[in-house]
Amino acid sequence: MSRTVVTFDGHRLTDDYHVSNLRTSLLPRSIATQVVGGRDGTLLTGSRLDQRTVALTLTAMSKSAAGRQSAARALAAILAVDEPRPLSLSIDGGLSWMAMPRSPEDIALWFNAASFEVIFECVDPVAYGAERTVTVASGSSASFSVGGTYPASPVISVASARNPSGGTWRLALDDGSYVAVDLPSAKALSIDCAARTLTVGGTVTMLQPEADWLALEPGTRTLTMTGSGTATVTYRERWL
């Protein structure tokens, strides 16, 4: 039986530490309800995914106290990040989580070993898989398959977008949602649906009120362009 490989921010922790007591949450979710007079039970008023937690024990083996202390300092340096970084477990089949680590417990000292309890707070509750790229030809449509179990947020880049009629350039998804920009002349577009930012000709601007940021649900999707300019659509599959 192969052991679980744990990698954080490019560091294979299992090269230098033994992993044990690995545990994670399946579906962290907050559910809001309200009591309604005369009705059995409660009424569901909303729900949302909470951040996910991955906890484990890392053990360093060394016959000397200095060696064990050196292992503790090396691990602390790896974990001392100031923003979420990728965390991957080999049992997840190549998926990664964006996580912030902490180690709130005291170091446990054993004979020739020291153990550290580490908790990774996955502030984004879904995992990220393969990056995919789709090209929508000028004034055309493209159908493609979106993998995963959770909607993906695309980044759309167009080197020179315009509407030949002098109106609105639009990229519409098959569910009816679309992004749109008024373009009297050719401009470069960058639309990040995760960060919710739109850049036109290098200038950040607002999305039109009637438009919306695109979310690619798993399954077969179709994007249709109104206007001209080849669009490159990049996204990462997301998984619960």
SS3 14: helix
The pLDDT of residue 25 is 83
- Say what the pLDDT of residue 37 is: 86
Long-range CB pairs of 112-115, under 8 A, 24+ apart, other chains included: 112/61, 112/62, 112/63, 113/59, 113/60, 113/61, 113/62, 113/68, 114/59, 114/60, 114/62, 114/68, 114/69, 114/71, 114/72, 115/57, 115/58, 115/59, 115/60
pLDDT tens string for the chain (240 positions)? 467 899 999 999 998 899 999 998 888 888 888 998 888 888 888 888 888 999 999 998 888 888 888 888 999 999 999 999 999 999 888 899 999 999 887 777 778 888 899 999 998 889 999 999 999 999 999 999 999 999 999 999 999 988 877 678 999 999 999 999 888 788 899 999 999 999 998 889 888 888 999 999 999 999 999 989 999 999 999 998
Amino acid code (one letter) for 66: A
Instruction: List the one residue out of 208, 151, 218, 209 whose CA is nearest residue 182.
Output: 208
Residue 24 tokens, joined: 């994670």
pLDDT given for residue 2 in this prediction: 61
The tokens describing 224, both together, are: 């249709």
Q: Which domains does the chain have, with CATH numbers?
A: 6-125 (2.40.30.200), 128-239 (2.60.120.860)
The count of C-alpha atoms lying within 13 angstroms of the C-alpha of 49, restricted to the half-sphere facing its C-beta, is 15
| CA separation for the pair 156, 171 (Å, rounded) | 9
What pLDDT sits at residue 87?
96
Distance CA 15, CA 104 (A): 23
- The per-residue pLDDT for 1 is 46
Joined tokens for residue 23: 């545990």
Cβ contact 148:154 at 8 Å: no
Q: Identify any residues that bridge with 134 across adjacent strands, giving them in sequence order.
A: 233
